[in-house]
Amino acid sequence: MRVCPACDCHVLLLDPRCPHCEAPLPGTGSRALRVGASVGLGLTLAACLGRAEAAYGVPATMSDDFGPTTNGTDTDTEGEGECELPDDATPSGETALITIRNERDAAIFVTPYSSFTCNYGKVEIDVGGEPVLWDHAGTYAFACSSDLCGWSCSDGGAAGFIINPGAEAQVEWNGALWTETALPEACEAEYDDCVNPPGDTCEVRTLVEGDYTVRVNLSETCPVEDECMACTDGVCEVFFYEPSMGEISESFEVSATFPAGAEVTIE
């Protein structure tokens, strides 16, 4: 967590610009945001407005369905222990492999856009009615509410899949998701001007064992015709430059139990 030199608001460690006054922040760039090479592997990004930088490897406690959730202390206000922010969970080490198989006679186009416009993922994942959100860099979206949506969508565009007949694509998910949580009272004075809505923050929870739903969204046409014609491999990535290029024409949904993977067959 850093302080914007222009408006004194607390901002994320890797933000290139202050989301409150748009002032450029030194020492950041688009490369810094690309923490995870594949969907779901970006846990090193401190990813929610009003959150201090995530700390891993501290003592943890277990909850019934999620765990482990850490209980360390971050102090962003003057004086020791005044503001204790929730720490992010340590990854469980388990990975679910989600497979998308094309059994049709023609190529299919998997769009990274979903019903939640700012969710950039090749698949949608839902846990108990709570969506797992991804941003354009393939890391965790740092927005728990639609009010903050624009900040995780600022770069626009995301990569989807072209899957040719008989081929299959795979996406990994390590079971992590954001959970909205109340900001501790001791932190409210520090963050009220910088958090929208005031008093809310986020923490990463790790699904140890439990049900999840996978949804694959297809676009009727390829967003970039030249790239689609050039795709001679079984699977190619193609960049959807804006949401209108990824208009959803069909959706396919399956359920599974983590850490088991899921298979979505398009027939």
pLDDT tens digits for 156-188?
A: 677 889 999 999 999 988 887 766 666 677 776
Higher-scoring residue by pLDDT: 57, 226:
226
Query: Which pTM value belongs to this model?
Result: 0.60
Higher-scoring residue by pLDDT: 23, 26:
23
Flag whether pLDDT at 51 surpasses 50.
no
The pLDDT score that the predictor gives to residue 158 is 76
Judge contact between 202 and 12, C-beta under 8 A: no
Task: Tell which phi-psi region holds residue 103, choosing left (phi > 0), alpha (psi between -120 and 50) or beta.
Answer: alpha
Give the DSSP H or E segment for 2.
strand 2-3
Tokens found for residue 168 = 């299959």
What b/e sequence results for 134-152 when a residue is b if at least 16 CB atoms lie within 10 Å of its CB, and e otherwise?
A: bbbbbbbbbbbeeebbebb
Chain centroid offset of residue 54 CA: 15
Under the banding of pLDDT at 50, 70 and 90, the label for residue 200 is low
Rounded-to-integer distance, Cα 145 and Cα 152, Å: 11
Can you say whether the dihedral through the CA atoms of 141, 255, 168, 41 is positive or negative? positive
Rounded-to-integer distance, Cα 107 and Cα 210, Å: 33
Nearest of 127, 133, 148 to residue 66 by alpha carbon: 127
Mean pLDDT of 57-65: 30
Digit-coded pLDDT (tens) for 235-267: 999 888 766 676 889 999 999 999 999 999 999
Alpha helices in 103-205, H assignment, sequence order: 149-152, 185-191
Tell me what the pLDDT averaged over the chain comes to: 66
What is the amino acid identity at position 205?
R
The pLDDT score that the predictor gives to residue 141 is 41
The pLDDT score that the predictor gives to residue 191 is 56
Rounded-to-integer distance, Cα 66 and Cα 18, Å: 32
Mean pLDDT of 78-107: 78
Flag whether pLDDT at 72 surpasses 80.
no
Flag whether pLDDT at 2 surpasses 70.
no
The pLDDT score that the predictor gives to residue 224 is 82
The pLDDT score that the predictor gives to residue 255 is 96
Cβ count within 10 A of residue 82? 15
